[in-house]
Amino acid sequence: MEPLDECNCVMYALGIRPNPSCSPLGRYYANTDYLTSLIENGYMTELGKSMSDDALAIYFKAEKVQHIGISKLGRVTSKWGAGHIYDHAPLEVPLSFGDSVRYFGLIDAELAFDQFLRFNNHR
C-alpha cells in the first residue's frame, strides 16, 4: 500500500513517494516551486492547451503553477492536498487551483526524484 497520505499533488503526479525506511525526503515536499523549476529548466515538455492522454495537466493562476494531475481519457486524476485522489473533468477543480490548464509530457519518476533532491540542496 502506498503512503499516499504523505503525498501532495506534485508528489502524486510525478511518482515521488516518501520512503519510511530511509526517509530521504525528511519533511520536504515536492511543491509547486519545485514543479516550476522542472518546467523552467527544460525537464518537462509542454504539449499545449489541448488535453492529451497520459500527460501531466498543470494548473496555473496568473502564470503561476498551482496544481498538477495526470490526464487520461478526457479526465484528470489528481491529489488534493492531504486529502483524497479525485478523478475529475479538466476544469472541475477549486478556483484556488487556477484558471488555466496546460499539458506537459510525463517525466520519469527517478529523474523527478533526482531533480527534487538537487532542488532541495540548492535552497
Q: What is the pLDDT of residue 7?
A: 83
Residue labelled with grid coordinates 498543470: 58
Report which of 43, 35, 87 is spatially closest to residue 59, judged by C-alpha positions: 35
Task: Indicate the residue type of 6.
Answer: E
Number of domains, the chain: 1
Q: What is the pLDDT of residue 104?
A: 97
pLDDT along the chain (123 residues), means of 10: 73 81 58 95 92 93 96 94 88 93 94 89 76
Domain that holds residue 98: 4-121
Residue labelled with grid coordinates 529548466: 41
CA distances from 113 to 3, 38, 73, 107, 119 (A): 16, 11, 27, 10, 10
* pTM for the whole structure: 0.88
CA pair distance 79, 88, nearest whole angstrom: 11
Q: What is the pLDDT of residue 22?
A: 42
